[in-house]
Structure 1
Amino acid sequence: MLISGAGTNMAALLYASRFEDAGYEIVLVASNNPDAAGLKLAEAEEVPTFALSHKGMDRSAHDAAMDQAIRASGAQYIALAGYMRVLGTEFVAGWSGRMLNVHPSLLPKYPGLRTHGAALDAGDAKAGCSVHLVTDDLDSGEVLGQAEVAVMPGDTPETLAARVLIAEHQLYPRVLSDYVSRPFDADWLVAQVRALALAQPQAEETTSHGMPCFGIVKGKKFAWVSVDHHGDGKTALLAKISGPDEQAQLIDLDPERYYRPAYFGGDWIGIRLDLGDTDWNAIDGWLQRSWRAVAPKKLTALMDAADEF
């Protein structure tokens, strides 16, 4: 987590991480302000800390030092929790899809500062907060969750901010936990495969052997998603390959990721999706290859002709 001040959202995330159902643990609290009160709390709670003032440093050098400390901690995600320094393009790109922030408005309303005053000036009945992915564009990354807060008669920016902060403390831990758990969540993994599989020409989804199954309309099946099939505890894509030799080579290359799916024979491979590091571009490639292996020649010829243009 990156902080610059009191670290109230950091505290909310920290204490929530200690519940049994939390999907994350905090391995580092880092700050650009060595005097940040949040650092003292983290130290008291025996969470490792790192501090480096940005004063006198150019942005890229400071970003690089922060990045080095974060990666050395073993962190896989970053949660910004009141980090009052703009991060450079290179830093943001290096953590694309793995850096979250909480913002005190119902985005896309009121990005940037003065959010509470803007909500009051606009006469909004509801204010609130959003947790979003961090991109180069200010407060414009994908919104992952929101919490609404009623605007009360007589509210000032300060009174509204105090209630929105309470909502932030409730929202941020839940959204962060859900987000970092997605690579292990069977429903989410099936949904990712479904979107890629149904993008193939003339693809349809059915259920076969109790598994989501994808085939060509009125044709052969080109993929299954196995979810704890026969109690094996795995969530995996089953895709077509050239035969037993390739199957053996893949399993020998990475026995944790690849396996021989039961009852499917030597021309199928099981590809684990639940290891937390799935390359979805590679999965898309597997699906395209598997689709082509069963597609009628007339259909693949049409695809090849279209590719030439």
Structure 2
Amino acid sequence: MKARVAVLLSGRGSNMAALLYAARLPDCPYELTLVTGDKPDAPGLALAEAEGVPVVRLPAYKPKDKTDFYAALSEALDRARVDCIALAGFMRILPADFIDRWAGRIVNIHPSLLPKYKGLDTHERALEAGDAVVGCSVHEVTAELDDGPVLGQIEVAVLPGDTPESLAARVLIAEHQLYPRTLAAFVMRERTPEAKLARVRQAAMALPGAEETVSHGMPCFRIEGGKMFCYFTHDHHGDGIIAMIVKTSGPDEQAQLIDQDPETYYRPAYFGTSGWVGVRLDSGDTDWDHVAARIELSWKLVAPRKLLGIREF
């Protein structure tokens, strides 16, 4: 399943278009499921609509009503079940509480080789400094302006006689090359089996007495050389599934979970009728808090009293 990306813009949307057309390639790991911004008449919104991308035209941003604007934006993002936000010429500084909620899931493209020339007027400042090379950067968005980890950059030469306008036009070509590739790598980094195993490992190893081992070719987690409470499976016996397998209270609970949510839960092969249940991690919108809670419930079913006491303390 492809990652669901929302693009926020303020103007013509050329970087949005670069992301959109790249998303139509068969091997692209993301899709645009929402385009919106701070100006309901932005040309980029009309382009997205013409290309069949869902668009939400929010009321025009006004500083005095910014709380209402970001509340409406958050509602639109939630309705679109967005995994990641890509800023593409969105000319507003996101509030800290919004960034906190989407931490690690917002990226931006900036027309300089960060950390140089954060903020505006990047090309003017580069020419004034006599730089021979400029460029563009894609970075994660944090509360500090243009200060998040850099994910990718492209250099662009400064030519004799360049003006801020001519330089901006050439850097924009580089932006259109950089953004789709970097966004694709960004959305994939937590979707690989290795990344998902790391998240399962983090939750399992946080529990008292937990240790990691291997059983039947699968990474798994047990209590101090004793009982297993979690397995991680990736294409085991060619089933094509990425999942974890955890204990339930028995076959009745296993059947109830599968009946209530068959897209998430399944009956794992080779575990018999013991009540172990598979929890799929390859749906694209994994609820990692729920995953951690299921791992802990499984751990509690096999943990000795002394460890249960430590956890409750």
Superposed pair shares fold, TM > 0.5? yes
2:29 corresponds to 1:23: yes
Distance (whole Å) between structure 2 residues aligned to residue 18 and residue 242 of structure 1: 45
Distance (whole Å) between structure 1 residues aligned to residue 101 and residue 220 of structure 2: 35
Look up the match of 2:203. Answer: 196
**More displaced 10-residue stretch of structure 1: 98-107 or 231-240:** 98-107
* 1:279 positional shift: 1.9
Distance 1:29 1:284, change over 3 A: closer
Q: 2:298 aligns with which of 285, 290, 293?
A: 290
Distance 1:301 1:284, change over 3 A: closer
2:89 corresponds to 1:78: no
Distance 1:171 1:199, change over 3 A: farther
- Deviations, residues 15-60 of structure 1 (Å, cap 9, x unaligned): 1111111223334433433553434543553445454433697222
* 1:237 positional shift: 0.8
Q: 2:138 aligns with which of 131, 136, 157?
A: 131
Distance (whole Å) between structure 2 residues aligned to residue 70 and residue 281 of structure 1: 20
Distance (whole Å) between structure 1 residues aligned to residue 179 and residue 221 of structure 2: 36
* 1:80 positional shift: 1.6
Distance 1:104 1:217, change over 3 A: farther
Secondary structure of the 2:138 match is strand
Q: Contact 2:211–2:223 (CA<8 Å) still a contact in 1?
A: yes
Q: 1:251 aligns with which of 258, 266, 274?
A: 258
Distance (whole Å) between structure 2 residues aligned to residue 65 and residue 296 of structure 1: 48
- Deviations, residues 119-168 of structure 1 (Å, cap 9, x unaligned): 6777878754333344444334455x212416658677656544543332
2:147 corresponds to 1:147: no
Give the TM-score taking structure 2 as reference length: 0.77
**More displaced 10-residue stretch of structure 1: 176-185 or 279-288:** 176-185
Look up the match of 1:270. Answer: 278
Distance 1:39 1:251, change over 3 A: closer
Distance (whole Å) between structure 2 residues aligned to residue 39 and residue 295 of structure 1: 55
Secondary structure of the 2:277 match is strand
Distance 1:252 1:27, change over 3 A: closer
Q: 2:120 aligns with which of 108, 113, 126?
A: 113
- Deviations, residues 154-206 of structure 1 (Å, cap 9, x unaligned): 67765654454333222221232344456654332222212333334454433
* 1:211 positional shift: 1.7
Look up the match of 1:9. Answer: 15
Look up the match of 1:100. Answer: 107
Q: Contact 1:185–1:274 (CA<8 Å) still a contact in 2?
A: no
2:234 corresponds to 1:227: yes
Q: Contact 2:140–2:148 (CA<8 Å) still a contact in 1?
A: yes
Distance (whole Å) between structure 2 residues aligned to residue 74 and residue 303 of structure 1: 37
CA RMSD of aligned residues (A): 3.7
Secondary structure of the 2:30 match is coil
Distance (whole Å) between structure 2 residues aligned to residue 156 and residue 219 of structure 1: 70
Distance (whole Å) between structure 2 residues aligned to residue 56 and residue 12 of structure 1: 30
* 1:267 positional shift: 3.9
Distance 1:202 1:132, change over 3 A: farther
Give the TM-score taking structure 1 as reference length: 0.77
Look up the match of 2:48. Answer: 42
Amino acid at match of 2:27: D
* 1:256 positional shift: 2.4
Distance 1:113 1:302, change over 3 A: same
Number of residue pairs matched by the alignment: 304
Q: Contact 1:23–1:177 (CA<8 Å) still a contact in 2?
A: yes
Distance 1:34 1:273, change over 3 A: closer
Distance (whole Å) between structure 2 residues aligned to residue 248 and residue 38 of structure 1: 48
Distance (whole Å) between structure 1 residues aligned to residue 224 and residue 113 of structure 2: 43
Q: Contact 2:86–2:106 (CA<8 Å) still a contact in 1?
A: yes
5+ residue gaps, structure 1, are: none
5+ residue gaps, structure 2, are: 1-6
Distance 1:124 1:220, change over 3 A: farther
